[in-house]
Amino acid sequence: MKKINWVKWLSIVFFLIPMLFILLFPFIVMISTSFKTLREVSQIPPTFIPRAPTLENYREVWNIIPLAKHFRNSLFLGFGEMAIVLFLGIPAAYSLCRFRFAGRGPYMIFLLFTQMFPPVVMILGIFRLVAAYGLVDNLAVVAVIAASFNLAFCIWLLTGYFSAIPPEIEEAAMMDGHSRIGAMLKMTLPLSWPGLIAVGIFAFMDGWNEFLFSLTFIRTQEFLPLTIGLYRFNTRFQIQWNNLMTGAFLATIIVVALFMLVQDKLTRGMVAISEK
């Protein structure tokens, strides 16, 4: 008879399952609440499984707020921030990684230093600047500002990925007929794509979850992202938890679906790189 590994089973039962439950608890509550009525949500003691599950919240959320537009705006912010961060971050990180120039070390530290200011400290100054140029109510501006607060961190991340690629591979490509930029595009970028995807996802998530700048710079309903759209369920007199959780669930499911789409490739890419 096969011997039972008690240590393994005990650690699963007493450590992993409780841990998993703690981690998933907010998500379980979110999903459960999205199928409850507002009345049931405010009931004491609270119910874990809805007594009378309903899809009414989903219909209501769709009708009360322009969910499709909010989705579109959030996607714009997510992909916009991702594009800006990658477009500016790749050449910056590549230069910092491959070229030796005076002040390179202090500049890297300076980049980190820029990350130390919470955006809210600068929001007033930025608002005055944006208003002076008449750029209030412009989603692209929100994407640019949000990206600028993330860029330094992403450059640091990308520098790490690029450093792992031996420069001789690029030099060999340059001998074989590429320019430096060609060698970077054909060798370094394809070889560091798991890093690019990681940074891209990070930037996308930041854009998708963007709240502060949208709340400050966007006035028109038409341009509000999902985060601010859902904020409307937080009214002066009550929080409509059922609708809020339904919106939050819909917002989360998109990101989860996107991640699942690239996860397999991401893992395989990481394994391939580690085998080099």
Partner 1 sequence: MSVVICKDLVKRFGDSLAVDHVNVEIQNGEFMVFVGPSGCGKTTTLRMIAGLESITSGEIRIDAKVVNDVAPRNRDIAMVFQNYALYPHYKVSGNIGYPLRRRRVPKAEIDKRVHEVARMLDVERLLDRWPRQLSGGERQRVALGRAIIRNPSVFLMDEPLSNLDAKLRVQMRREIIRLQRVLGTTTIYVTHDQVEAMTMGDRIMVLRFGRIQQIGPPEQLYNSPANMFVGGFIGSPAMNVAAGRLEGSADGLTLVTRSGRLPLPPQTVARLGADGAAAGPREVMWGIRAEDIRLGPAPAAGGNGLDMRATVDLVEGLGSDAYVSLALSGDNIVARTPADARPAENETVGVQINANKLHLFDAKTEETLLS
Name the site residues for partner 1 (rule: CB under 8 A): 166, 168-169, 171-179, 187, 190-191, 272, 275-276
176 or 222, CB closer to partner 1? 176
Least Cβ distance, residue 269 to partner 1 (angstroms) = 10
Q: Closest distance between partner 1 and the C-beta of residue 87, in Å?
A: 23
Minimal distance, residue 182 CB to partner 1, in Å:
9
State the minimum distance, in angstroms, from the CB of residue 103 to partner 1. Answer: 13
State the minimum distance, in angstroms, from the CB of residue 266 to partner 1: 16
Both tokens of 35, joined, read 């199928």
For partner 1, the closer CB: 1 or 102: 102
Q: Which is nearer to partner 1, 18 or 166 (CB)?
A: 166
Cβ proximity to partner 1: between 136 and 169 the closer is 169
Nearer to partner 1, 162 or 208 (CB): 162
The full 3-state SS of the chain, as one line of letters, equals CCCCCHHHHHHHHHHHHHHHHHHHHHHHHHHHHHCCCHHHHCCCCCCCCCCCCCCHHHHHHHHHCCHHHHHHHHHHHHHHHHHHHHHHHHHHHHHHHHCCCCCHHHHHHHHHHHCCCCHHHHHHHHHHHHHHCCCCCCHHHHHHHHHHHHHHHHHHHHHHHHHCCCHHHHHHHHHCCCCHHHHHHHHHHHHCHHHHHHHHHHHHHHHHCCCHHHHHHCCCHHHCCHHHHHHCCECCCCECHHHHHHHHHHHHHHHHHHHHHHHHHHHHHHHHHHCC
Collapsed DSSP state (helix, strand, coil) of residue 234? strand
Measured from the CB atom, the residue of 114 and 179 that comes closer to partner 1 is: 179
Q: Shortest approach of partner 1 to residue 92 CB, angstroms?
A: 22
